Chain A
Amino acid sequence: DAGITQSPRHKVTETGTPVTLRCHQTENHRYMYWYRQDPGHGLRLIHYSYGVKDTDKGEVSDGYSVSRSKTEDFLLTLESATSSQTSVYFCAISRTGSEKLFFGSGTQLSVL
Chain B
Amino acid sequence: GENVEQHPSTLSVQEGDSAVIKCTYSDSASNYFPWYKQELGKRPQLIIDIRSNVGEKKDQRIAVTLNKTAKHFSLHITETQPEDSAVYFCAASKDTDKLIFGTGTRLQVFP
**A interface vs B, CB < 8 Å?**
31, 33, 35, 40-45, 48, 50, 56, 58-59, 90, 96-106
Contacts and interface: CB of A to CB of B under 8 A. Distances in A.
Contact of A44 (B43, B95, B96, B101): B101
Interface string B85-101: 00001010101111111
A40 B98 contact: no
B74 interface: no
Nearest to B6: A42
Contact of B43 (A41, A96, A98, A103): A103
A98 B97 contact: yes
Interface string B32-69: 10101000000111100100000000000000000000
Interface string B19-39: 000000000000010101000
A106 B98 contact: no
B73 to A, nearest CB: 15
B49 A100 contact: yes
Contacts, number: 63
Contacts of A42: 6, 89, 101-104
Contact of B96 (A35, A40, A43, A98): A98
A31 B97 CA distance: 10
Given A98-B96, A103-B44, A43 B49 contact: no
Given A42-B89, A59-B1, A100 B98 contact: no
A41 B4 CA distance: 11
A41 B103 contact: yes
A-B pairs, 9 with minimum CB distance: A97-B96, A98-B93, A42-B103, A98-B99, A103-B43, A43-B101, A42-B104, A42-B101, A103-B44
Could you say which of B9, B89, B101 has the most chain A C-beta atoms within 10 Å of its C-beta? B101
11 contacts: A42-B6, A43-B44, A43-B89, A43-B104, A50-B96, A90-B44, A98-B93, A100-B49, A101-B34, A102-B46, A104-B43
